[in-house]
Chains A and B, each alone.
Chain A
Amino acid sequence: MTAEAQRRRAFWQILLIAAGLLVLTVISAGSVYLVNKAREDSKWVVHTIEVENQINALLLEVRRAESSARGFLLTQGPDFQSDHEKAVAAIIPALAKLTRQIGDDPAQRDSIEKLSAAIETRLDQFSREMDFVKQGQPDKAAALIREAAAGNTTTTISNQANAMIREEERLFRIRTANSDRSQTLAASMTGIGSGLVVLLALVSTWLVRRSARARDEAEARLRDANVNLETIVDERTADLREANDEIQRFAYIVSHDLRSPLVNIMGFTSELEELGGDIFRRISSLAHVPADGPPLAPGSSGEIALEGPDKQLSTDFSEALDFIKSSIAKMDRLISAILNLTREGRREFQPEKIDIREFVEAIVSTLAHQAVEAQAEIHVGSLPNIVSDRLALEQIFSNLIDNAIKYLKSGVPGEIRIRGRTKLGYAIFEISDNGRGIDPKDHQRIFDLFRRAGTQDKPGQGIGLAHVRALVRRLGGTMSVSSELNTGSTFTITLPVAWNASNRNVDR
């Protein structure tokens, strides 16, 4: 899968989620709006019903007042009178309430005004009727009733009220329809929205599954790649090990084969020296031969001194031989050093648990004599114990401590400190001195084979540090130096706390 495709898929997923969110928001907002609208519509429906009720109640009261008034007129019974009064008393508040309720509708307001007027007229008639009855003039009251009937007051009231009821019914129908519509809208909106969300969820699930599959494939490929990588690393390691072994063998063979001619050179040089001795003894005996006597036997006259040019010749001869011999000796030491190094490189390490403090103190005690001669004091601090090769460690520490003693500043009492600590599975040892120090430009050089730095006033081949560093590396560690001229040096060795032979030499 290309990065481009991955980006595109991620983009689609984000888009889907955004669309889902948007749909949900719209549905929520729409639902809230529609539910509110439905509630409003329902309120209006209820309001219409209430208005209708109120109109009916008002009509009922008017009718009650009318019928009780008639009853009173006929019987003059006080029951009818109180009934009529109660009805009349109820009419005004009922009318007022209706007026209030209907206040929002201008069409109905017109009607209610007419209704109010009619009701007022009728109420006036009622009170006059009742007065006539009370005064004992039922004829007048009956006339008034007739007049009212002729004036159609009652009919007007009922017509007006009926018109209003019809109007309200019309409104009721409209409002019911409205309410139904909003509810349907709300329902369908929720339905469609839910459907959309479900659809988006499905698409999203599909996308997620597809990307999961792609991820699984990528993981499988990664696993394969890792396995491959390990194989490659193993191959390279094997190659390196082979190359290293090759170098070791090469160094071994070369140093060996160099030694063979050296034996001859040295041997015949010595033979030549002896021969030279014989020749010069013979010359001297011939030079000192008495004119008359026989020559002295060669060998018995070594004491006879040569003279003049003969002496010069002899001196030159031995000087040349001395140079040859010292060079051979030096070459032999170098070859031996290489041989020893390759031998060390071939030695198998035996990891074991070592009490380092005790171990270092033992090394220090073997170097005590040199330390006293150099007026040096060696302080051993607390040192972490590690698992490593005893012999290799011994060479590392004794070389470094020996160097510290060897390269002190003359005239200054030496102070050598050995400290240690652990960090992340590694033990760090520091061997510091207050000696002559090493110029920073020589820090690399001192670790090279046969290279030395600083004043060459001490014997040495320039092998120690190269050897120490090779050992530290073979033990899976690192080594470094920090030093300035005349300020002492600190050699730092980092070694694994628990070294096992498995990381090196596994195939030996």
Chain B
Amino acid sequence: MTQPVTIIMIEDDEGHARLIERNIRRSGVNNEIVAFGNGTDAMRHLFGADGSGLSQKGNALLILLDLNLPDMSGIDILKQIKENRYLKASPVVVLTTTDDSQEIKRCYELGCNVYITKPVNYENFANAIRQLGLFFSVIQVPPAAT
């Protein structure tokens, strides 16, 4: 039995974080959700104190990433995750307000697995997150590479 998947949520807006968490829970996903309000904390958690990512070795992670963070660009985080040998296999879902086609293209090029634009319309938003939750419940996440 593989260990349960931990959802890492990097989202600076507490409201968004709350709404996302609530809707994920409503879709029946009960995995642990670890939320970070800024990039630095998230990076420390993901890559460890030495920045190697060794601390996450063997953990199954799913990363929810907002691009507009106060201290750093989400794109940088995405890039580093996808370049790290332990983390690159973890699925990254970019969930952000940006709907610029250039930005979306760039994220996919960098290895993002899913890109979702946060709809302002709450019905759509809630729907999107719940479907994402359903997606989480069926997705197979590999443990961080050895």
Contacts and interface: CB of A to CB of B under 8 A. Distances in A.
A257 B68 CA distance: 9
B14 to A, nearest CB: 9
Contacts of A270: 122-123, 126
A264 interface: yes
B19 A259 contact: no
Nearest to A258: B97
Interface string A52-85: 0000000000000000000000000000000000
A333 to B, nearest CB: 9
B121 interface: yes
Interface residues of B, number: 18
Contact of A267 (B68, B98, B100, B125): B125
A268 B15 CA distance: 8
A256 B68 CA distance: 9
A343 interface: yes
Contacts of A256: 68, 97-98
Interface string A332-365: 1000000100010000000000000000000000
B68 A343 contact: no
Interface string B32-58: 000000000000000000000000000
A266 B122 contact: yes
Nearest to B97: A259
Nearest to A257: B68
Contacts of A267: 15-16, 19, 122, 125-126
A21 interface: no
Interface string A245-279: 00000000000110111111011111100000000
B22 to A, nearest CB: 8
B65 to A, nearest CB: 15
A328 interface: yes
Interface in B113-140: 118-123, 125-126
Given A256-B97, A267-B15, A328 B126 contact: no
A329 interface: yes
Interface string B84-104: 000000000000011110000
A266 B15 contact: no
Contacts of B99: 339
A263 B118 contact: yes
10 contacts: A256-B98, A260-B13, A260-B97, A263-B97, A266-B120, A270-B122, A271-B19, A332-B121, A339-B99, A343-B100
Interface of A: 256-257, 259-264, 266-271, 328-329, 332, 339, 343
Interface of B: 13, 15-16, 19, 22, 68, 97-100, 118-123, 125-126
